[in-house]
Amino acid sequence: MATPLDSIIFGPLFGAEEINGLFSDQTYVRRLADVEIALARAEAFVGVIPTAAAEQIAAVTADKIDVAALTKGTLRSGFPIIALVQELRKQVSADAAPYIHWGATTQDIMDTASVLQLRGAIQIFDKRIREIAGHLAVLAEKHRTTILAGRTHSQQALPITLGLKAAGWLAPLLRHVERLAEIQPRLLVVQFGGAAGTLAALGGSGLAVMQALANELNLGTPAMPWHTQRDGFVEFGGWLSLITGSLAKMAQDVILMAQTEVAEVGESAVEGRGGSSTMPQKSNPITSELIVAAARMNASLLSALHNAQIHEHERGTHGWQVEWLTLPQMVMLTGGALKHAAYLAKNLQVDAAAMLSNITRANGVILAEAAVFALAKAMARPQAEDLVKKACVIAVSENKPLIETVEKLAGDSFREGEVDWQALAKPDNYLGETDNIIDRVLKGSTKKGGRVF
């Protein structure tokens, strides 16, 4: 296997069947044929080639193309299009054969076929993101009051709720739906420029054919051919890295929260999932691990994709091939990450008791800031901070609740009832705007994408 994505064994781990299928050889050949057929129809519409010839070309089928012949042709010329045209010409009359690929160049057909592949992937991605968003919205609503230690630098910081954390996983996805909508008009455009981007072979009909070709394929038209302008593909690659990165943030949180010593969540209740070959007690967070691996790989491949946009003059040399090696992998890894994230968001197991126990086990030091601000209402803030810092040391070293320790250290510094010590000791009384923030995210709408879930 060249990569795990190509493996029968490992492929299902890292990819998603519905996405991988879009990038199979068979599907790619169909997309190449689709472009050649659409080109013939467009040229007949404009009057560049005879209608009778276009009708014959429109009847060709990718199923009759000898893929082995394309392989041999690609080894000879570096591209499959010469062999493709020869295969298509076998399916039409001698009169119609010369009009296949009329006025086009290899890159016109291959780039446009790639755009068609990406369009199919985008439709699946959009649906999958909305599915994940829906699951996370349910999680945020269900656990909007489930107390959890908010952690900064991996240390307990302030009390939050699991609902807020889920909203934090959800919010970037809403922006990614919006970004995807913004990208598509720039990405889903036809490529048609002829040998050097001038469309000279078509005389004064080149731009009309470009527009007709775009209409046939339901694609947009660019201002000019983009043979060596690869920013559209690179922008989409950036989006792929963004979405997998956001999913990996959720997955990384789950990995940390699923550690034995923390045990606040589990990936699912399915017996044997994430099992170890030698340690019966293990339930490894394999789903989350795969998401993080995809994100890290996409981040690495994105660098190569940025390098791939460096093309020479009007038609490039090696940059295009680097693009072939990177962008399809990124799309397939993203498909796999989205598949796993949908499973994770739907099946996450939550142990609310463990979440609260972890706060208690840490002697409630998570309420240190709350204590400072409560005391600062009756004494100078620096004095309050000094008192709470001393209380933290005592609470940890003597294994005592922080607020109880603060109260004892404060002594008679406060009038009776000036500080509600019982209320102060409850984490759910120091959640700030948590509820309102969750509500803002759960509106679930974007400026460009409309309602997401």
Residues tagged active-site:
276, 315
DSSP secondary structure letter of residue 224: S
Contacts of 167 (CB under 8 A, 6+ apart): 136, 140, 437, 438, 441, 442
Give the span between the Cα atoms of 446 and 453, in whole angstroms: 11
Q: Does residue 142 contact residue 442 with C-beta atoms inside 8 Å?
A: no
Q: What is the DSSP letter of 220?
A: B
Instruction: Tell me the two tokens of residue 374.
Output: 């409560």
Cα distance between the two ends of the chain: 39
User: What CA–CA distance (Å, rounded) separates 105 from 77?
Assistant: 13
Residue 349 backbone class (left: φ over 0; alpha: ψ -120 to 50; beta: rest): beta
- Reduced DSSP (H G I as helix, E B as strand, rest coil) percent helix, strand, coil of the chain, to 5: 65, 5, 30
3-class DSSP assignment, residue 426: coil
Q: Identity (one letter) of the amino acid at 204?
A: G
CA distance 308 to 306: 5
CB-CB neighbours of 354 under 10 Å? 15
Phi and psi (nearest 5°) for 288? -65, -40
Beta bridge partners of 451: 445
* Total residue length of the chain: 453
Beta-carbon count within 10 A of 447 CB: 10
The pair of three-digit structure tokens given for residue 121, joined into one six-digit string: 């992937």
Which residue in 320, 331, 297 sits closest to 118, CA to CA? 331
Q: How many CB atoms lie within 10 A of CB 267?
A: 24
Distance CA 124, CA 295 (A): 18
Report the phi/psi class of residue 53: left, alpha or beta, with left for phi > 0 and alpha for psi in -120 to 50: alpha
| Cβ–Cβ under 8 Å, residues 227 and 48 | no
**Taking the mean position of all CA atoms in its chain, how far away is CA 336?**
10
